[in-house]
Amino acid sequence: MLLILASLVPAGASLAAGALDTEATRQSLNPSAITLFLLFVVATLGISYWASKRTSTSSEFYTAGGNITGLQNGAAIAGDFMSAASFLGISALMFSAGFDGLIFGLGAFAGWPILLFLLSERVRNLGKFTFTDVVAQRLEKKRTRAIAVLGSISVVVMYLIAQMVGAGKLIELLFGLPYEIAVVVISVLVIAYVAFGGMLATTWVQIVKAVLLLLGITIMAILVLVSVDFNIEALLSQAATTHPKGTAILQPGALYDDPIQVATILVSMMFGILGLPHILMRLFTVPNARESRRSAFYASLFIGYFYLLLVIVGFGAVVHVTGNPAYLTDTGALIGGGNMAAIHLAHALGGSLLMGFMSAVAFATILAVVAGLTVAGAASISHDLYAGILCDDKPDAATEIKLTRLVTVALGVLAVALGIVFQHQNIAIIAALPMVVAASVNFPVLILSMYWDRMTTRGAIAGAATGFVSSIGLMVLGPNVWVAIFGYQEAVFPYDYPALFTMPAAFAAAWWVSVTDSSARASLDRQSFTDLLIRSEREQL
């Protein structure tokens, strides 16, 4: 099983080790990691208890009452986004293939300027709790909410499966717990954070996690630079000398030699970010559009800083871990699999203490991301489906909150069940799904509803349906499923991440159906655009 934890780097899992089931050697128990993990759990449960005293309304549950500052929310967004896949997966890609490991980081980071300049202000001004609120502003509410809920729930569940499987494998490897117990522990903790503390608890868990991860990677990067006297050229030279591929790791092509493959990965990552419901939902936790822009700005700074240091960590792992017998099994593979390169680097640089700290931080990232996903999933069911569709935007507030907490528990149970069912599946397959689906379903409908005056309800439904069917279909026909799972020698569709093709198909379907739509509803959809445009640019206090 691949130890990729699924937020950024779907392909990173399939790079070096194939599957962790073939490398079952487990890390020896690390008292530092276990102690720091327990301290984090105690601290975050304390945060949840504190937040539960301040969470009684739907606004407080979904968006922390809109009282989070731009800086706090920027840190929380970064904490939500910088998952263990970023830390373990991208560093593992660079450890295995060097330069090509940057593709996923560059693709993901490229989405943040778009979020800052095109989405953050308008989404905050138009929405209330979820991005579905924005999409349904000028379109027929029930049908539009239904298709948006399909996209949201699909992304959340797919993302949740990958996080749970990766988390279970991480704990199994580092702490010695059986896999099934590991996923139950994660689920129980997340249910406690979300069900009692809602978005306020989730926000502070994400902030604490972001601070710890940035602190840890800063320490590692500094120690790597100290080992080469702060000479980046010397670091790259030593990496090229040490790595089996030699100077090829400093050039593109070591992992992907097809420019279309690179392009479709970049598109999947860049636009997938803009359709992730748990990221978009964070834009509603601030009091106004100005703070929303500041949130996106600070998140961009933190995430950009993280990726810069990740380059140093990745090449540092090549220098300090490659060929080191302390981190290799008898067969010459890394203990715990290829995705453990950064953890081994932490040990090489700072011994058991730094390794324990970074292991605990890697686990903390999972809790924070799963908590954000659970809030988004609960909001999609209780707010978008129950309150918006079944109650026609006039729900009983107490019933909605009660339903939200019940959905949170249900999602936790579902996460455990799916995590166990999929524990022997290749996580690269699961992790590819949410990014491609988000880019092909959620993003086209969101951006067109805000910026195109001829968009209609029928067009939105056609675009979302086309994106959903084509993205799932092409991924099934791609190498990760058609070859790896079904066992065929050659894939029908040659690329694992088809957003380069499925996202334009969604836009084309939405455009064609909208321009040819002559229904009475279509006229209302087009006439309401001017009012929506004015409201989207007006500061809502």
Beta-bridge mates of residue 334 = 328
What does the alpha-carbon distance between residue 436 and residue 35 come to, in Å, rounded to a whole number? Answer: 38
Number of helical (H) and strand (E) elements in the chain, helices listed first: 22, 0
Which residues, including other chains, have CB under 8 Å from residue 507's CB and lie 6 or more apart? 444, 448, 463
Q: Which CATH superfamily is domain 11-51+64-430 in?
A: Sodium/glucose cotransporter (1.20.1730.10)
Instruction: Please report, rounded to a whole number, the percentage of residues in the chain having pLDDT higher than 70.
Output: 90
24, pLDDT greater than 60? no
DSSP character at residue 25: P
What does the alpha-carbon distance between residue 178 and residue 336 come to, in Å, rounded to a whole number? Answer: 15
Confidence category of residue 29, pLDDT binned at 50, 70, 90? low
336 vs 181, residue with greater confidence: 181
Mean of pLDDT values over 485-491: 85
Mean of pLDDT values over 3-27: 37
12, pLDDT greater than 60? no
The crossing angle, in degrees rounded to 10, of helices 259-273 and 102-114 is: 40
Amino acid 21: pLDDT: 37
Which residues, including other chains, have CB under 8 Å from residue 296's CB and lie 6 or more apart? 74, 77, 112, 115, 116, 119, 120, 283
Neighbours of 153 (CB within 10 A): 18
226, pLDDT greater than 70? yes
Mean of pLDDT values over 32-42: 78
pLDDT in tens, 366-377: 777 787 888 888
Q: Locate tokens 């799972």: which residue? A: 485
Please report, for residues 212, 264, 268, 314, 404, the alpha-carbon distance to residue 304 in angstroms, rounded to integers and kept in the order given: 16, 21, 19, 15, 34
Please report, for residues 151, 291, 393, 514, 534, the alpha-carbon distance to residue 456 in angstroms, rounded to integers and kept in the order given: 18, 31, 21, 5, 18
From 52-56, 224-228, 313-317, the region with the lowest mean pLDDT: 52-56
Mean of pLDDT values over 518-532: 89
- Please name the residue ranges forming H helices in 380-497: 397-421, 427-437, 443-451, 457-477
Amino acid 10: pLDDT: 36
Residue 328 phi/psi, 5-degree rounding, is -115, 150
Neighbours of 126 (CB within 10 A): 22
Return the domain boundaries, the chain: 11-51+64-430
What does the alpha-carbon distance between residue 480 and residue 161 come to, in Å, rounded to a whole number? Answer: 17
From 183-197, 385-399, 420-434, the region with the lowest mean pLDDT: 420-434
Confidence category of residue 479, pLDDT binned at 50, 70, 90? confident
Amino acid 28: pLDDT: 57
Please report, for residues 73, 205, 287, 355, 417, the alpha-carbon distance to residue 217 in angstroms, rounded to integers and kept in the order given: 21, 18, 31, 11, 33
From 38-42, 334-338, 441-445, the region with the lowest mean pLDDT: 334-338
Confidence category of residue 462, pLDDT binned at 50, 70, 90? very high
What does the alpha-carbon distance between residue 362 and residue 343 come to, in Å, rounded to a whole number? Answer: 9
